[in-house]
């Protein structure tokens, strides 16, 4: 299945699942080396990172905890200002070594917001693991410490990522044509 159609758009396979497996293994190995004897807390950003998180965590051998959070955005009464908040952040973060797990970093607006929110809870350290990064768009100062693939600005779908709610279940990653 090299081409798929989701709603009005066509997508072509760009990263097959067996390649993703190798990359996730590489990231897990780096994390296992970097976090021996640390108090590691993964914070996975739903919905998009659920598949990456599941595959990554199966390969993590160091002692760790995992928390799943969601970013909500809502408009303040009459203004159009978007206020974002993190839902589901229950774990004690104080003094922990946190790794935020993202599916994809595009502008980095989402990530910067999450990063600043988590920082308030006084973790010992914060690092970011993102399966995909669009470096031509990302201009923020927050470093992305573990990156699976640097990709062009084109829209992608699959392996947890959606187009208008569809395609999250695909095991490969597809790029819009
Ligand atoms: P950012 O705030 O612009 O970095 O966007 C981050 C979020 O937007 C990601 O966590 C995804 O949920 C979504 N996103 C950004 N680019 C894509 C894409 O190419 N495909 C699917 N979702 C995307």
pLDDT per residue of the chain (177 residues) written in tens, 0 to 9: 799 999 999 999 999 999 999 999 999 999 999 999 999 999 999 999 999 999 999 999 999 999 999 987 654 444 444 556 889 887 799 999 999 999 999 999 999 999 999 999 999 999 999 999 999 999 999 999 999 999 999 999 999 999 999 999 999 999 999
What does the alpha-carbon distance between residue 116 and residue 20 come to, in Å, rounded to a whole number? 29
Instruction: Specify the residue with its C-alpha closest to ligand 1, atom 16.
Output: 106
Pocket-testing residue among 72, 104, 131, ligand 1, by greatest number of atoms within 8 A of Cβ: 104
Instruction: Specify the residue with its C-alpha closest to ligand 1, atom 22.
Output: 161
What pLDDT shows up at residue 82? 55
Rounded alpha-carbon distances, angstroms, from residue 2 to 7, 48, 153, 154: 17, 22, 20, 17
Residue 156, φ and ψ in degrees, nearest 5: -120, 160
Q: Largest Cα–Cα distance of the chain, in whole Å?
A: 50
What pLDDT shows up at residue 61? 98
Residue 156 near ligand 1, beta carbon < 6 Å:
yes
What pLDDT shows up at residue 75? 46
The β-bridge relationship of strands 64-75 and 82-87 is: antiparallel
Q: Please list the active-site residues.
A: 106
Which tokens hold the place of 95?
């003094």
Q: What is the pTM of this model?
A: 0.94
Q: Any residues with CB less than 8 A from the CB of 118 and at least 6 apart, and which?
A: 43, 86, 89, 93, 98, 100, 126
Residue 73 near ligand 1, beta carbon < 6 Å:
no
Which tokens hold the place of 145?
């410490």
Instruction: Specify the residue with its C-alpha closest to ligand 1, atom 19.
Output: 155
Phi-psi region of 126 (alpha: psi -120 to 50; beta: other; left: phi over 0): beta
């Amino acid at each position: 299945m090299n081409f798929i159609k989701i709603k009005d758009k066509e997508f072509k396979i760009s990263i097959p699942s067996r390649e993703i497996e190798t990359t996730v293994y590489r990231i897990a190995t780096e994390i296992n080396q970097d976090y021996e004897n640390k108090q590691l807390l993964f914070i996975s950003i739903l919905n998009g990172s659920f598949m990456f998180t599941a595959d990554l965590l199966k390969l993590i051998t160091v002692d760790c905890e995992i928390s799943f959070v969601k970013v909500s955005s809502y408009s303040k009464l009459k203004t159009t200002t978007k206020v974002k908040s993190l839902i589901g952040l229950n774990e004690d973060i104080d003094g922990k070594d946190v790794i935020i797990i993202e599916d994809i970093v595009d502008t980095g607006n989402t990530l910067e917001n999450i990063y600043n929110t988590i920082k308030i809870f006084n973790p010992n350290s914060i690092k970011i693991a993102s399966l995909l990064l669009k470096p031509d768009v990302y201009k923020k100062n927050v470093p992305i410490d573990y990156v699976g693939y640097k990709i062009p600005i084109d829209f992608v779908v699959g392996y947890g990522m959606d187009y208008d709610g569809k395609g999250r279940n695909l095991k490969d990653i597809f790029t819009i044509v």
